[in-house]
Chain A
Amino acid sequence: MTEVLKLGQKVPDFELTTYEPTRQDFGKFSLQEQIDKKRWTVLFFYPADFTFV
């Protein structure tokens, strides 16, 4: 069981394979890259494609 993150904690690095609608291609998201680029991130979880979000 992974320990759940709390507010104020550094998020452990993670990656996600993505679909990028702007390029109509697959890509990769990496939290470390966001930190390197000094970018803010909003992660938006939802239950399932083809339903309301």
Chain B
Amino acid sequence: MGSSRSGRATIIIASLVAVGILTWAVFSAFAGSANTPQSTFLPASIQTVRVNSLYMLVFILAGIVFFGIMALTLIFSLMYRERPGQVARQFHGNSKLEVVWTLIPVLIVVVMAIPTFSTIHDTAQEPPKDALQVIAIGHQWWFEFQYPELGITTANELHVPVDRAVYITLESKDVIHSFWVPQLSGKIDMMPGHRNHLWFTPTVARPEPYLAQCAEFCGMSHANMRFRVFVDPANDFATWSKGAASDRVAPTSDIAKAGEAQFTAAGCIGCHTVQGNPVAVGKIGPNLTHFASRTTMASAMMDNSPENIRRWLSNPQAVKPGALMPNLHLSPDAIDKLVPYLGGLK
């Protein structure tokens, strides 16, 4: 059989070491990708913790299979490489081996299937009675969030209290979108004509937002359809929701008052609601009542700053390709009035 016994041992050991190092390198690269802002590896809700433990099990199984197949492929490639004097052994198969390696994948799959099915069963349970009700509506290319019990309508930034279940009803106004907050919940699609639901119980309150993004291709600016979830301590959430349910802060400065007039004159009221402004009742675009209290704008594409508002107003499509807000061709003068008005909508 060609190579000597010690030669074969060397091949086997060298291959095992090489594939072992490869597997370890792959695992550490995976661990590296875990520490990123939108990572799926940093669970912060009861549901994602559950999924993550299943994930770890599957990852370990995957690692074992990877190691095994790669090692065998490498060992056989090296050991049975053509050599003078080596003769290929002629055989057609082995029934016992066939049975064994049918059972190996069966076993792996069963080990994976049992916790999978129990997780499916558990996540299909009804949410607790005291769950916070939220309706999330997908639009091209932004998210609308309604809290029917609290009388709040907002956009692109979802606030939820920590340690309380959030029951989200998913709808879409146009095409299919998908609601995905990697650290709080796996994704569920927002289907037009259907009402999907998901619920999760966030467990980690923090001032920084959880990053989230539409996950179903939904047209030109799919890449720019992002949102943020703030998990607040219960008191902070109560304060926020009280503010968010109230009317807009009436403009006080002259320029902001002029801005409100401009908001009507330019036609913004046709699409945007500003609660407390009796003429601004449009429903097509995001609700702007408390626009200035959001940290981001244009579906979490960019920071909410006067310069960015200015850029947006002068040409929305240049900022967000395909944006459905028409370019109003506002004069610099009109923009000068609108920016402080919008910036004052706390």
Bind each other: no
- Could you list which residues of chain B lie within 8 angstroms of chain A, going by C-beta atoms? none
